[in-house]
Structure 1
Amino acid sequence: MSASSESPNSSGQARSTGGTRSPWRWVPTLYFLQGLPYVFVMSMSGVMYKNFGISNTDMTLFTGSLYLPWVIKPLWSPLVEMLATKRLWTVATQFVIAAALAGVALTLPLPDFFRLSIAALWVMAFVSASHDIAADGLYLLSLEKHEQAAFVGVRSTFYRLANIFCMGGLVTLADQLHKSEGGWVFAWQVVMALLAGSFLLVSLYHWWRLPRPAADRPLPRTERNWPMFLHIFAEFFRKPGLPVILGFLLLYRFPEAQLLKIAVPFLLDPIQVGGLGLTNTELGLVYGTVGLIALTLGGLLGGWAISRVGLKRALWPMVAAMHLPNLVFLAMAWSHPGSLWIVASALAVEQFGYGLGFTAFMMYMVLVSDGPHKTAHYSICTGFMALGMMIPGMWSGWLQDHLGYLNFFGWVLIATIPSVLMASLIRIPENFGRKEPAA
């Protein structure tokens, strides 16, 4: 591997700028891999358990609880700052996740598969949360502020391409294997093997290609102690306006936290119980492919818009884009459209808007985490975000079972009120995230 050239940034830290470390050569694959285990835990496992006949209440409760590692990951995020490099943490955890994904497949033929597979997913979730800490830290250390703004859409895009790969390609493959072989266990074991193999191949690429920024180094041994560990936490909780920051992190995605867990069951459940009655293949097309392509385009447009006008000017259009399109789920639950392309178009509108709105949220976390311990502080931000997703997601199945799909999606629209309120309270510096014109 050739040595990279380095140049100082505005804060005096050197960053890798060699041609072999172009962000286009590692940001897309890094966030593609970051998305794979998360998508499986949060979405794809729901399809799998629905195919195996698990109820909405049990499915959302147990898969929703798997958010916990992402919630509590800030508790060990200072260790990533203190021990080894973010690059080493990133690559090592990727190899472990590949092995864990293969391990999940081994539980599926067993009599107590639900409990055992959930236990395997817990292991994978903890390792994946650790990977996220290191990968986000490597991203923040390797790019300048305007590059971070420009590539926030790329991050979101390839994270969502992991969704397409899983929810579009692999879910469809599971359906086809089930039809040809006659068994969901065989189908999902093959899918899990392909997922693990894909993860391993990209992990090997990262071992070779990830950047080595000069700022990516562990703390000196003399600073690896409990006082420093606690100091990193204390710095975050001394940030000005902390109650508003935490409120925004917890509540901005409050409607989506509930909608996300119920969207797949709604699309798969038969019309007699209020769903749309799609097959896995149809789900893979409309939600896992068309919808996620729209989400990807929304994320790219959002990143470009912030780099052009700054987060402050882009915020309110993105908030509106995030929440208003949720109306399509209410409309589908009311009308039960018979056309697959009407369903696909409705989901494309909703997902495009979500892609725009989530870009603003990601950039706000970059703003909050700015400082000497940005890796740990960004991890704390994502931990609060995960808490805001976990609790509403866990109760969403129980709520839907009691309200029915139509009333549930009506409730989701009401749940946008806390999100809009918190967006009105945050403070964003003028031109934050905007790329400055060349001199």
Structure 2
Amino acid sequence: MLKRSIFLSPWTFIPTLYFASGIPYVIINTVSVIFYKRMGVDNAQITLWTSFLYLPWVIKMFWGPVVDIYSTKRTWIITSQIAMFLCLVLVAFSLQLPNFFFISLVVLTLGAFISATYDIATDGFYLLALKPEQQAFFVGIRSLFYRLAIIFCSGILVFLAGKLEIYFKNIPLAWTLIIGFSSAILLIIFIFHRLILPFPDEDATHQYTAREKIPFLQIITSYFTQEKIVSILAFILLYRFGEAMLVKIASLFLLDKLEVGGLGLSTSDLGLVYGTSGVVSLILGGILGGIVISKYGLKKCIWPMALAMNLPNIFYVYMAYTQPSLTLISPLVSLEQFGYGFGFTAFSVYLMYISQGEYKTSHFAISTGIMALGMMLPGLISGYLQQAVGYPIFFILVCLFTIPGMISMLFIPLKEEANPTAR
């Protein structure tokens, strides 16, 4: 096939590759919580089953070598995109069926594995298609477009779904149209990539060199024999324990009726408050966190940043007890999300800090898999706990659940470095 040199600039495909990466992830892990709530599923069932959808991102490191060995990264990208399009079409259709919850969960689970595979292939393609100086330049661009996908899905799409709910007076139809619209966007991106995505020479040759024996056992052993590995694992699993409980319940709390302890927001209001201004605050917090760490170092920043992430959870305790109006809900949610973005930066940098040596890429993949497990496990029980104790007590418990993660920070290995983000 003829390679079109006009399209070889990374500007033509990096933004769309990572925008397409964000859409299915957000729909599967965030938007699904919202449309299940709007369609009458109870909190315990929503949090339990949607938390299981994190699993492919927990274990994706185990089939990463398969993506490396068989076929090219470009082929994996194209194939997974069309497969994800079909999955979203099936999800949209399933919302019209009486047993929509079971069918849509099965399809979303399949979509989660496809999306995780797409992430593996896209990151590999990024390393093969771009020169080292381009990789450094476009790391911010790819992050920007991934975050724009978050705003698009959790903000704009949710807002539009709310408007359609009112217009059609039919919640399943509104969400069928929204998920169908999302699938159409992925189809357009698939066609675009099919036509213009380059064919890097290294992508074709890498699959053959990768078929040499992969020292998988050696990689795993070297990771789990690090200094203070028990403390490291405890930190990765516990640092966001409270936030992992909160994130599954937050949108349900905002949507629930006042008489059952929620804040009674409409779907459109949720899209604006949590999915738009909240996500923008999250991004700004992350940017500021990166600037602060680069200036002062991770060791000096990790405690203040952990406090910045955990202390704003008290806002949800306040809102649960007072049920304020939208004018106060919006800034409080934004402040909490800003603190989360700021504090999460320290966590991300620490995962890079412990990814050292010959297998640092694989070690980072293992760390992010454990990180996803740390989000999945608290989410499994969050809905049952909330239903058992109510929103006010639940959010108090969330604040208390941040303490183990703070304690774990006392035991992790961390030396002062001149440039902690250089890894």
- Classify the secondary structure of the residue corresponding to 1:111: coil
Query: For each residue in 1:158-186, what CA deviation from the matched residue of structure 2 results, as whole angstroms up to 9, or x when unmatched?
Result: 43332221121111111211211221221
CA contact 1:167–1:289 (8 Å) conserved in 2:
yes
- Give the aligned CA root-mean-square deviation in angstroms: 3.0
Q: Deviations over 1:232-280 (max 9, x none)?
A: 3333333333222222221111111110110011001111111000000
| 1:384 aligned residue | 370
Q: Which moved more, 1:90-99 or 1:183-192?
A: 90-99
- Superposition pairs for residues 300-315 of structure 1, below 5 Å? 300-315=287-302
Match of 2:410 in 1: 424
Q: How does 1:9-28 map to 2 (within 5 A)?
A: 20-21=9-10, 28=15
State the partner residue of 1:350: 336
Deviation string for 1:308-367 (max 9, x for gaps)? 4443343233222211111111111121112x1211100110111111122222222333
Aligned to 1:110: 97
Query: Aligned with 2:220: secondary structure?
Result: helix
Contact 1:292–1:351 under 8 Å retained in 2: yes
**1:188-227 correspondence to structure 2 within 5 Å:** 188-206=175-193, 208-209=196-197, 212=200, 217-218=206-207, 220=209, 223-224=212-213
1:284 equivalent in structure 2: 271
Of 255, 271, 283, 1:268 maps to 255
Structure 2 residue ranges without an equivalent (≥5): none
Structure-2 residue corresponding to 1:13: none
Which is worse superposed, 324-333 or 208-217? 208-217
> Conserved in 2, the CA contact under 8 Å of 1:274 and 1:405?
yes
Deviation at 1:63, TM superposition (A): 1.0
Indicate whether 1:57 and 2:44 are aligned.
yes
**Residue of structure 1 aligned with 2:383, choices 397, 404, 412:** 397
- 1:411 to 2:411 alignment: no
> Which segment is superposed worse, 321-330 or 356-365?
356-365
Displacement, 1:300?
Answer: 2.0
Q: Compared with structure 1, are the counterparts of its residues 131 and 19 closer, same or farther at alpha carbon in structure 2 (3 Å cutoff)?
A: closer
Q: Give aligned pairs, total.
A: 417
Which shows bigger deviation, 387-396 or 165-174?
165-174
Indicate if the aligned counterparts of 1:157 and 1:297 stay in contact, CA closer than 8 A.
Answer: no
Q: Deviations over 1:267-301 (max 9, x none)?
A: 01111111000000111111111111111111222
Deviating more after overlay: 168-177 vs 406-415:
168-177
SS in 1 for 2:410: helix
Aligned equivalents of 1:213, 1:159: Cα separation in 2: 26
Alignment of 1:362 with 2:348, yes or no, is yes
| 1:70 shift after superposition | 1.7
Alpha-carbon contact 2:241-2:401 (below 8 Å) kept: yes
Identity %: 43
Tell me the alpha carbon deviations over residues 41-84 of structure 1, each in whole angstroms, 9 at most, x when there is no partner.
22211111111111001111111121222222222123234334
Q: Is the contact between residue 127 and residue 135 of structure 2 (CA under 8 Å) also seen in structure 1?
A: no
> What is the identity, as a one-letter code, of the residue corresponding to 2:362?
A
**C-alpha distance in 2, partners of 1:71/1:37?**
16
- Does 1:297 pair with 2:284? yes
AA in 1 matched with 2:224: F
Q: CA–CA distance in 2 between the matches of 1:397 and 1:342?
A: 25
The offset of 1:434, in angstroms, is 4.4
Q: CA deviation at 1:370?
A: 4.2
1:166 is aligned to 153
Shift of the 177–350 alpha-carbon distance from structure 1 to 2, 3 Å rule, reads same
Question: How many Å separate the matches in 2 of 1:298 and 1:53?
Answer: 34
Distance across 2 between alignment mates of 1:144 and 1:360 = 25
The C-alpha deviation readout for 1:203-258, integer Å capped at 9, x for no partner, is 4455535795959923626614xx63433333333333322222222111111111
Distance 1:153 1:349, change over 3 A: farther
Q: Give the SS at the match of 1:250.
A: helix
What is the rounded CA distance, in whole Å, between the counterparts of 1:267 and 1:21 in structure 2? 40
Equivalent residues of 1:77, 1:376 under 8 A apart: no
| Shift in alpha-carbon separation, 1:371–1:143, aligned structure 2, 3 A | farther
Amino acid of the structure 2 residue aligned with 1:354: Y
Deviations 1:367-416 (A, max 9, x none): 33344444433322221111111111010000000111001110111111
- 2:56 counterpart (56, 61, 69): 69
Partner of 1:243: 230
Q: Which moved more, 1:395-404 or 1:170-179?
A: 170-179
Shift of 1:127: 1.0
Distance change >3 Å, CA 293–CA 370, structure 1 → 2: same
| TM-score of the pair, normalised by structure 2 | 0.88
Q: Evaluate the alpha carbon distance shift between residue 392 and residue 210 of structure 1 in structure 2; reply closer, same or farther with a 3 A threshold.
A: farther
Q: 1:277 to 1:367 in 2, by over 3 A?
A: same
Provide the rounded CA distance (Å) in 2 between the counterparts of 1:366 and 1:213: 29
Whole-angstrom CA distance in 2 between matches of 1:234 and 1:346? 44
Distance of aligned partners of 1:414 and 1:270 in 2 relative to their CA distance in 1, 3 Å threshold: same
Q: Is the 8 A contact 1:21 1:210 kept in 2?
A: no
Kept in 1, the 8 Å contact 2:352–2:364? The answer is: yes
SS of 2:206 mapped into structure 1: coil
TM-score by length of 1: 0.85
Q: Which moved more, 1:294-303 or 1:400-409?
A: 294-303
1:19-50 Cα distance to aligned partner (Å, 9 max, x none): 9236xx65554443322222112221111111
User: Equivalent residue for 1:7?
Assistant: none
* The 10-residue stretch of structure 1 (48-57 or 200-209) with the greater mean CA deviation from structure 2: 200-209
Q: 2:268 corresponds to which letter in structure 1?
A: T
Name 2:108's counterpart in structure 1. Answer: 121
